[in-house]
Structure 1
Amino acid sequence: MTPSPVLTTLLPLLDDLSRDLPQAEHYQRLLLALRACLPCDALALLRLEDDLLVPVAVLGLSPDTLGRRFRVSEHPRLAQVLASRGATRFAADCELPDPYDGLVEGTRGRLQVHDCLGCPLTIDDRPWGLLSLDSLDPARFGHIDLPSLEAFTRLAAATVKACERMNSLTRQAADEHRRAETWRQAARCTPSRELIGTSPAHRHLLKEIDLVAKSQLSVLISGETGVGKELVAQAVHQQSDRRHKPLISLNCAALPETLVESELFGHVRGAFSGATGSRGGKFELADGGTLFLDEVGELPLSVQAKLLRVLQNGQLQRLGSDQECHVDVRIIAATNRELAEEVRAGRFRADLYHRLGAYPLRVPALRERDGDVLLLAGHFLERGRTRLQPSGLGLSQSARDALLAYDWPGNVRELEHLIGRAMLRARANSARSPLPLQLSAADLELTAVATPTTAAAQVADTQLPPGGLRQAVDAYQRQLIETVLSRNQGNLSATARHLQIDRGNLHRLTRRLGLTTDGRTTRRNGPPG
């Protein structure tokens, strides 16, 4: 007897259940098999996490869909599917907003009249998520084979359950459950705290986080500005045994040198001018938990020595006090500097560097994360959709190409701000259009990053001043020092750390260049003599 086409399609999936495939590949093969059984234009498998539906596999939808998070309370179609016991078909003229407006490949703008079908997935009598099917043919699902669909839904649930069980065998089940619960609680308050990406570089980072989180080792997070070092620190804390204790953060570059020690260790009344009462520092606040030292490379050498003492024996003294107190704190530090170079230059203590860097974590730059830019763009677009309330929000092909071609010197932070600006431009340009917003390359306004070759050509075309190279260098130094001094509100020590030179050398250089600092302002006295 010849097996039915449906059975022929499903048999390979049954074989897949016993194969050691990545979870994403299992899910993708599941959607391919469903499309072979029930031809359609777009499919999605979404996992339910509290009030969020997270896409785990898509076909026929734009790549940025995987970075989106659909809040059930904001999408009535998805809510209706989850509330049903079987398949839900939406009429072609259904007025409920479609969550995939602007996302179905081959369409531009709002989805035209189409056929839409959704099936909830239940595992062990608990809702796990849903399958959605969309067809541009409004009559596609009119005569659907319900037994085949029911069989496939059960197979999909079995696939999901098998994948989750195989994953649980690679790590301790209790730890995995606690991690998931912690992330779900965090997502309710701060949904933007998720680390999103599927690139090899990003997956490697997640594995490193998972490996070190359960230990008590100090972690030194390095990476360029804007890559998300603070998010990595939060992930390490949330997956650690200290997650029920506080995570206290301190930006070491945002404080004057005179206040850093007080912020870290606290002070007693009268310890310095303005200390009208006793106050605990960040170490005491983080007792039992984690202290995150951002921009740790900016710490003054005098404070580095005292910090090392606390890390070695857990004992600290508040400023102005002779009494010692014990703290149990795990340190996570972050820097965009090369601390090894700082050590060689004498600007950072070698013993503190090795103590902080017991386990180094490098966060890859966005340009190193193949394809993740589209997922992150989709994530920021969905957040923007919630704020701006447009009928739909998507990326045109030209916008995707531009995002993938750009070098991202400002990394994820630059992408987030760029998407926000682009949404405002697109909304202003299409204020009277009923179609969903489609961001174009023009809305993004991306410009090419200057390469060393082009930069050298610009220098070659620059006209030197009459005084030649010396005067040109002095003019550049004067402008740079003025700018950094202004950013640091006239603080000479902070400016010296930013410029990576000794404070005394900076003071002599400002005098030679004819600059003086008077507290919070900088003024030029005239050309140097």
Structure 2
Amino acid sequence: MAKEVITTHQARALQALLPLLGDLTAEVSSELRYYRVLDALQQLVPADAMALLRVDHGELIPVAAYGLAEDAMARRYPVVRHPRLKAIVEAKGPVLFPPNCDLPDPYDGLIGSSALPVHDCMGCALRINEQIWGVLTLDALTVGQFSERDLQTIETFATFAAATVVAASRFDDLLQTVAGERKRAEAYRLAAHRPKPAMIGNSERFRQLLSEVDLVAPSDLTVLITGETGVGKELVAQRLHDGSARADKPFITVNCAALPEHLVESELFGHVKGAFSGAIENRLGKFELATSGTLFLDEIGELPLVVQASLLRVLQGGQLQRVGSDKLHVVDIRLIAATNRNLADEVRQGRFRADLYHRLSVYPLRVPALRERREDIMLLAGAFAEHNRWRIGVPSLRFSENARRALIGYAWPGNIRELEHLMARAALKANKRTTSSLAKQVLTLESEDLDFLEATTDHSSTATPLPHSADSAPPVDFRSAVDAYKRQLLSDALARHDGNAAAAARSLGLDRANLMRLAARLDTTPGR
């Protein structure tokens, strides 16, 4: 009888593993391979949640998961901060944690819609050539659901999972080679000491944006990135650089709005000693620093007209003169520019040169506002929640259903940046509101913790509020309405700080030079 049970179990295991064996030589995407690994594992060891995570700079990142809340997929799990994950990574074989284990579980409150803590947890590291690639984790809300036999099963299964990972990696390498991906670009990314912020999303709008970015990235075309404030234009610029043949060369960023007008040309083109008061030595400008690499001019719509003419000459001829010098210097850069303004309107209003506009917009890219990609809101919120849980020392953060509905339904005038800041405040408020030690083990963010009104009106009762619904009808003259709103915010901030422009700028989250330039455009006179 025992022999018959074992044979049945073996047959079930073979049936589950056959699709994985077939995938090893097939042209299957990495994402699909990873999910097929979990499909096979679910047949062998049923669980409430399971995940496949890969290691990246000491953090575990989910690449496939079943049973976890949507926002858990965008979170990063630093190994040193998660004792259970650390134990799995360091163990030579699979690990089954006892139900009464006092080590916090990284998925507490993140399994489906349940706020219950995890009771049964097991996992196994995936090794390729003796190096840790990632881990498999299985979790259950029922005490005693996993057994010693399950432990043996997952140990055997890990070998097949590792083979699948190797196949996925080799297939991806082949695709990159066919696409002309430069090996030195990959080496540059792997050598970076700190991982770059990731672009997170899964919506159709987001996928279309990534498709366009990846299409133009390998070329040397000038790209103009447009979009509202806070949508992530700098991340798009970074991805364009990382996907180019210049990826192992400098990526220089310039915030044009933060440059004092009398120093803009010096900052961009450099100067020689004695060119002006304070020029005590020769200095390279950002163009020369970016030679052979990429120069990213953020908020380019804020450049004065006189500087626009100088910039156009450099772009047309590839040569520049440092301030105070007659000598020409040749530069070889790939230019990427970004703005939250409608430059076509700026051209019509005479505030931006038409010839420079056409020179910049060789390949225009529009980054969609957050309200245009609502499917990504919870992914982003989950990533920011995971980041903030460590900043405030909370074991786990989850979202109530009301909070989810509120986040998805909000208009997000400040876009991703507003969401990031709001999540930091919400985590603090939820932590303060929750008093019981049991509740603090899985901290739930409620809709009352999400201070949307404060995030959009800056506590001003006189400013015109922005609409809170994506379905609200737009104003008749959108630009005039937005300018009026900005003008009111500036006036209120300056009044609160007795005309102190620096203090007003800090309260609005702006650079002082940016506030001064904005005030001049809106005919709002700052004090000092």
Report TM bin, short chain: 0.7 to 0.9
Q: What is the rounded CA distance, in whole Å, between the counterparts of 1:290 and 1:181 in structure 2?
A: 18
Q: Map 1:31-70 onto structure 2 (within 5 A).
A: 31-70=38-77
Code of the residue aligned with 1:338 in structure 2: it is N
- 3-state SS in 2 of match to 1:102: coil
Which residue in 2 is equivalent to 1:441?
447
Match of 2:139 in 1: 134
Instruction: Give the match for residue 74 of structure 1.
Output: 81
Moved more, 272-281 or 213-222: 272-281
Counterpart selection for 2:90 from 80, 83, 90: 83
| Correspondence list, 1:438-477, <5 A | 438-446=444-452, 449=468
Q: Which secondary structure does the structure 1 equivalent of 2:412 belong to?
A: coil
Distance in 2 (CA, whole Å) between partners of 1:54 and 1:225 is 28
Residue in 1 aligned with 2:287?
283
The CA deviation at 1:126 is 3.0
**1:29 pairs with 2:36:** yes
Q: Which secondary structure does the structure 2 equivalent of 1:156 belong to?
A: helix
CA separation of 1:284/1:376 partners in 2, compared to 1, >3 Å: closer, same or farther?
Answer: same
Alignment CA distance shift 1:477-1:19 (3 Å): closer
* Residue 293 in structure 1 maps to residue 297 in structure 2: yes
Q: Say which SS state the counterpart of residue 149 (structure 2) adopts.
A: coil
Q: Which string of whole-angstrom CA distances, capped at 9 and with x for unpartnered residues, describes residues 173-226 of structure 1? A: 88365444433444x42x462222222322332333333232222221111110
Alpha-carbon shift at residue 71 of structure 1 (Å): 1.0
Greater Rg over alpha carbons, structure: 1
- Render the CA deviation track for 1:105-158: whole Å, top value 9, x for unaligned: 25315x15x111101112344321110001122222224245543443233223
| CA drift at 1:54 | 0.6
Q: How much has 1:64 moved relative to structure 2?
A: 0.9
Is residue 372 of structure 1 aligned with residue 376 of structure 2? yes
For the 8 Å contact 1:268–1:321, the answer to whether it is kept is yes
Matched with 2:498 is: none
Change (3 A) 1:160 1:451: closer
Residues 1:218 and 2:241 are matched in the alignment: no
SS of residue paired to 1:322: coil
Q: Any idea what the Cα deviations from partners look like across 1:19-43, whole Å, max 9, x if unmatched?
A: 5554333322332332222111110
Report the CA distance between 1:73 and its aligned residue.
1.6
Residues 126 and 136 in structure 2, CA contact (< 8 A), matched pair in contact too: yes
**Aligned with 1:291: secondary structure?**
strand
Q: Kindly provide the CA deviation profile for residues 229-288 of structure 1, in whole angstroms up to 9, marking residues without a partner as x.
A: 111112222333333332222111122322222221222344334444443322222223
Verify the 8 A CA contact 1:484 1:495 in the aligned structure 2: no
SS at structure 2 position matched to 1:77: helix
Which stretches in structure 1 are left out of the alignment for 5+ residues? 458-474, 500-505, 511-516, 523-529
Give the letter aligned to residue 99 of structure 1.
P
Q: 2:163 aligned with 1:158, yes or no? A: yes
How far apart, CA to CA, are the structure 2 residues paired with 1:254 and 1:368? 29
Tell me the secondary structure at the aligned position of residue 176 of structure 2: coil
The letter of the residue matching 1:439 is L
Kept after mapping to 1: 8 A contact 2:487/2:519: no
Give the deviation of 1:295 after TM superposition.
Answer: 0.6
Answer yes or no: is the 8 Å Cα contact 2:185–2:247 preserved in 1: no
1:329 & 1:282 partners in 2: Cα distance?
10
Q: Does 1:421 align with 2:425?
A: yes
User: What secondary structure does 1:55 align onto?
Assistant: strand
Distance 1:422 1:407 in 2: 17
The answer to whether 1:182 aligns with 2:192 is: no
Distance 1:285 1:36 in 2: 57
Cα distance in 1 between the residues matched to 2:475 and 2:218: 48
Name the SS for the 1:333 alignment partner: strand
**Greater Cα shift, 306-315 or 169-178:** 169-178
**1:165 offset after TM fit, Å?**
2.7
Instruction: Determine helix, strand or coil for the equivalent of 2:124.
Output: strand
- Alignment of 1:339 with 2:343, yes or no, is yes
Q: In 1, distance between residues paired with 2:145 and 2:423?
A: 36
Closer, same or farther in 2 for the Cα pair 1:261/1:366, shift >3 Å? same
Structure 1 position 8 matched with structure 2 position 27: no
State the distance in 1 between where 2:47 and 2:186 align: 33
1:123 to 128, 151, 175: 128
The C-alpha deviation readout for 1:475-513, integer Å capped at 9, x for no partner, is 9998688569956979999347744xxxxxx6xxx8xxx
Contact 1:314-1:327 within 8 A present in 2 as well: yes
Q: In the alignment, residue 129 of structure 1 is paired with which amino acid?
A: G
Structure 1 residue 432, shift from structure 2 partner: 4.4
Q: Secondary structure at the match of 1:243?
A: coil
Cα displacement string for residues 436-470 of structure 1 (whole angstroms, at most 9, x for unaligned residues): 2111122123467156857879xxxxxxxxxxxxx
Amino acid at match of 1:158: A
- For residues 264 and 381 of structure 1, the distance between their equivalents in structure 2, rounded to whole angstroms, comes to 38
Which of 230, 234, 237 matches 1:230? 234
Match of 2:527 in 1: 521
Q: TM-score, normalised by structure 2?
A: 0.82
- Local SS of the residue matching 2:437: coil
Preserved CA contact (<8 Å) 2:223 2:365: yes
Q: Which amino acid aligns with 2:57?
A: D
The equivalent of 1:462 in structure 2 is none
CA contact (8 A) 1:9 1:36 kept: yes
Structure 2, unpaired ranges of 5+: 1-6, 454-466, 477-483, 495-500, 506-510
Change (3 A) 1:313 1:201: same
Q: 1:105 to 1:292 in 2, by over 3 A?
A: same
Q: Residues 297 and 348 of structure 1 are in contact (CA less than 8 Å); yes or no, is this contact kept in structure 2?
A: yes
Counting aligned pairs with the same residue, the percent is 52
Aligned length: 484
What is the aligned partner in structure 2 of residue 239 from structure 1? Answer: 243
Corresponding letter in the other structure for 1:74: R
Displacement of 1:327: 1.9
Matched, 1:253 2:257: yes
The residue identity in structure 2 corresponding to 1:441 is S
Q: TM-score, normalised by structure 1?
A: 0.82
Change (3 A) 1:310 1:36: same
- Cα distance, 1:303 vs structure 2: 1.0
1:368/1:157 CA distance change after superposition, 3 Å: farther
Aligned to 1:461: none
Task: Give the secondary-structure state (helix, strand or coil) at the position aligned to 1:169.
Answer: helix
